[in-house]
């Protein structure tokens, strides 16, 4: 798009200076054509700027959405980090419990072995001394009471060995089962730790990818902003050219007014000027700099806007000769009247024209009706005064 805008800009610049070179021979219709071309180019540039701004807005929204998503991912990452820390502590605790259980298991095994060795010694003693029998106890006893005591002791010793061996074996088995359970729990924790670590790594990759997307969007936004700045610069140049063309139109009006004076068609004896819209004195926009009220409208207002209802009468502010009664895409239906002395008045955005070029009009005569044609935000009369080819504040002539 830039290549077209710059070419058109150069063409318009050439047209402006060409029109300046031909000077008084330039025709109003040619100037209006140049003005229309400038306005069309301005509209195109504004459309391009709007399109780029919309792209920037969409990319910024996408960037903000990704940033919001990254914030959520960061929160998830924090949760995973906390979970990993917790799992590491749990694993460390389990390892301590397993170590303690291993000590208990080794002690239990040692106790079982000692009890087993003691029992083997007693069995060996009994075997080497002829075995154990109640007859031997009876013969060795000094009395029946001694016999009963010896028998009871022998029975208790056998029962004790059996009971203790079973208890130590059960304790050993319990410790082994506990150790196995702790090792299983430790493995589960390590498996969970590995799973959480994998999630964290995946999340890291996703955050890196989204961060790169943000960087890409930022680069695109920067490029789009640069493009928008370029369009704005071109727009400023086009608006400058438009100002030149409008000044050319004012010069053309002055030339025609001078021709009328030179030919004696109009004299400079016109009396004071009257308000051009009798039905309303409400000024909606003053002369001079202003914000752009609508696309294509000038920001350097070259007249005053008088708010009035559609169809309200527009009268000639002073007697004179109509030099232009035509239509312009920017001014709509408009009339230019030469009053002599290098002074002309302009009436724009009319809904209807009641005069034609070359017609002589009297002060107060109805020449048009209020409307909203051309670049306009609503029904009103744009009233301007041109003095020797330059726009001046109309309030210096009407009150």
Return the CATH number at 355.
2.70.70.10
362-377 pLDDT, tens digit per residue, is 999 999 999 998 877 7
Q: How far apart are the first and last CA of the chain?
A: 47
Q: What confidence score (pLDDT) does residue 353 get?
A: 96
Question: Mean pLDDT throughout 175-190?
Answer: 83
- Name the band, by pLDDT with cuts 50, 70 and 90, for residue 25: very low
The SS3 assignment for 175 reads helix
Report yes or no on 178 lying in a domain: no
Q: What's the confidence (pLDDT) of residue 52?
A: 86
Q: What gap in Å lies between CA 380 and CA 314, rounded to an integer?
A: 10
Comparing CA positions, the residue from 314, 344, 320, 317 lying closest to residue 332 is 314
Q: How far, in Å, CA of 334 to CA of 369, rounded?
A: 10
pLDDT category at 7 given cuts 50, 70, 90 is very low
pTM of the model: 0.46
Judge whether 320 lies within some domain: yes
Share of the chain above pLDDT 90, in %: 17
CA distances 7 to 4, 21, 37, 216, 351, Å, are 5, 21, 13, 32, 36
Q: Which tens digit of pLDDT belongs to each residue from 57-108?
A: 888 888 888 888 888 888 888 888 888 888 888 888 888 888 888 887 787 7
Question: What residues contact residue 211 under an 8 Å CB cut-off, 6+ apart?
Answer: 70
335 CB-near residues (< 8 Å, 6+ apart) = 314, 322, 324, 325, 346, 347, 350, 353, 355, 367, 368
**Res. 297 pLDDT band, cuts 50 70 90:** very low
What digits encode the pLDDT tens for the residues 249-284? 677 777 777 777 777 666 554 458 999 999 999 998
Per-residue confidence band for 27, with pLDDT thresholds at 50, 70 and 90: low
Give the model's confidence band at 319: pLDDT under 50 very low, under 70 low, under 90 confident, else very high: very high
- Does 342 map to a domain? yes
Asked whether residue 388 is domain-assigned, the answer is yes
> Could you tell me the pLDDT band of residue 152, with boundaries at 50, 70 and 90?
low
Question: How many domains is the chain partitioned into structurally?
Answer: 1
Residue 184 has pLDDT above 90, yes or no: no
The pLDDT value recorded for residue 8 is 43
**pLDDT average, residue stretch 277-297:** 72
Q: What's the average model confidence in pLDDT over 30-46?
A: 74
Tokens of residue 172, six digits: 């050993």
DSSP secondary structure of 332-348: EEEEEEEEETTEEEEEE
Q: Which residues form the domain of 313?
A: 264-396
The listed range with the strongest mean pLDDT (42-51, 226-235, 328-337, 365-374) is 365-374
Extract long-range pairs of 111-116: CB within 8 Å, 24+ residues apart.
Answer: 111/168, 111/171, 112/165, 112/168, 112/169, 112/171, 112/172, 115/161, 115/164, 115/165, 115/168, 116/165
Judge whether 278 lies within some domain. Answer: yes
Residue 360: per-residue pLDDT: 93
Lowest mean pLDDT among 135-144, 149-158, 174-183: 135-144
Domain assignment of residue 326, yes or no: yes
Question: What is the band of 138 on the pLDDT scale with cuts at 50, 70, 90?
Answer: low
In a domain, 338, yes or no: yes
- pLDDT band, residue 155 (cuts 50/70/90): low
Look over the chain and give the mean of its residue pLDDT values, rounded to a whole number. 77
User: Considering the domain boundaries, does residue 353 fall inside one?
Assistant: yes
pLDDT at 130: 47
């Amino acid at each position: 798009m830039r290549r077209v805008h710059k070419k058109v800009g150069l063409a318009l610049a050439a047209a402006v200076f060409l029109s300046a070179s031909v000077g008084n021979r330039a025709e109003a219709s040619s100037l209006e054509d140049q003005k229309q071309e400038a306005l069309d180019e301005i509209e195109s540039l504004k459309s391009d700027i709007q399109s780029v701004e919309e792209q920037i807005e969409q990319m910024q929204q996408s960037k903000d959405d990704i940033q919001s998503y990254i914030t959520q991912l960061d929160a998830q990452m924090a949760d995973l980090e906390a979970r990993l820390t917790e799992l590491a502590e749990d694993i460390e605790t389990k390892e301590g419990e397993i170590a303690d259980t291993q000590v208990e298991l080794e002690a239990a095994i040692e106790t079982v072995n000692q009890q087993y060795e003691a029992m083997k010694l007693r069995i060996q003693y009994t075997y080497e001394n002829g075995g154990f029998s109640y007859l031997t106890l009876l013969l060795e006893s000094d009395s029946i009471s001694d016999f009963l005591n010896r028998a009871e002791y022998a029975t208790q010793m056998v029962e004790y060995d059996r009971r203790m061996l079973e208890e130590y074996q059960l304790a050993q088995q319990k410790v082994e089962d506990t150790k196995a359970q702790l090792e299983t729990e430790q493995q589960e924790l390590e498996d969970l730790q590995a799973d959480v670590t994998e999630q964290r790594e995946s999340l890291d990759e996703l955050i890196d990818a989204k961060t790169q997307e943000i960087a890409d969007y930022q680069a695109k936004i920067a490029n789009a902003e640069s493009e928008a700045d370029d369009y704005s610069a071109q727009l400023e140049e086009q608006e400058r050219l438009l100002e030149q063309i409008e000044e050319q139109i004012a010069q053309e009006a002055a030339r025609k007014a001078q021709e009328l004076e030179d030919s004696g068609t109009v004299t400079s004896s016109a009396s004071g000027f009257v308000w051009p819209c009798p039905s309303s004195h409400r000024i909606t926009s003053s002369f001079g700099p202003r914000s752009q009220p609508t696309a294509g409208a000038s920001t350097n207002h070259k007249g005053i806007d008088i708010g009035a209802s559609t169809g309200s009468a527009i009268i000639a502010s002073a007697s004179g000769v109509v030099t232009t009664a035509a239509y312009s895409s920017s001014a709509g239906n408009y009339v230019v009247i030469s009053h002599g002395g290098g002074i002309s008045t302009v009436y724009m955005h009319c809904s209807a024209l009641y005069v034609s070029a070359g017609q002589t009009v009297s002060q107060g005569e109805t020449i048009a009706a209020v409307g909203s044609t051309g670049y306009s935000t609503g029904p009103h009369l744009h009233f301007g005064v041109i003095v020797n080819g330059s726009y001046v504040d109309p309030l210096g002539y009407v009150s």
